[in-house]
Amino acid sequence: MFKTKDAWMNFFYSFGAAIVILGAWLKITHITFGPINGNIALTVGLVTEAIIFIIFAFDPPAAEESYHWENVYPELLDKHANPNPLHSNISSKNAGAQFAELENSLSTKLDKMLQDAKLDVQLFDRLRTGIDKFSSSVDQINQTVDVSASTHKYNDQLNKAASHMESMNALYAMQLENGQKQSDFAKKYVADMQKSAEQSEKFNQELQGLTTNLNSLNRVYGGMLTAMKS
């Protein structure tokens, strides 16, 4: 099942840890499986882990895998060697010459590539001019966008002002209607007061007539009483 010692040790570690966790669970929940309770399971798990750690203490660490770099870089065998980064068996003078030759070759190839691609100073100037024009166009577009945004904001403000004017007109119409109603009420009140005054005057006249009649009646009764006494 397991072919190496490390695999077996890993199995025992995991098995012991599982027993410890199971014992702790039984201990906390006070659950028992027949004669097995939390104390027994936790004790067995901890003892198992202790035995595993004791065995692991006597287990020598695995040897690190070493690579024979001297087979790839022979200069490592010579402690006083000063190898060249390009090749280990060339001198510093040859290295300088090779670097110069390599630099010239790269410069020549780069010039040839530029010529083949027709990349000259005028092309770069035109490219720079095009970039400047593009930058100017972008600035103009930004300005146009700013103007458009300002116009949109102005339109929004006009719409808000129109809405406020409509609200004010509606409020004015409401106030005018209320004023008309108050004026009609005042006119009706004045008319009622005038009518009440007329009725009061008529009532006074009728009251005076009644008073006159009562006085006449009193005189008649007075005459009758006088006649009866005599």
Residue ranges per structural domain of the chain: 5-60, 121-198
Global pTM value:
0.27
pLDDT of res. 163: 85
pLDDT of res. 152: 80
pLDDT of res. 136: 80
On whether the CB atoms of residues 88 and 75 are closer than 8 A, the answer is yes
Give the number of other Cβ atoms within 10 Å of residue 38's Cβ: 18
Between CA 131 and CA 124 the distance in angstroms is: 10
Distance linking the first and last C-alpha atoms of the chain? 164
pLDDT of res. 88: 47
pLDDT of res. 110: 72
pLDDT of res. 97: 67
pLDDT of res. 114: 67
pLDDT of res. 34: 81
Helix spans in the chain (H): 5-29, 38-57, 92-116, 121-229
pLDDT of res. 90: 47
Q: Which residues of the chain have pLDDT under 50?
A: 86-91
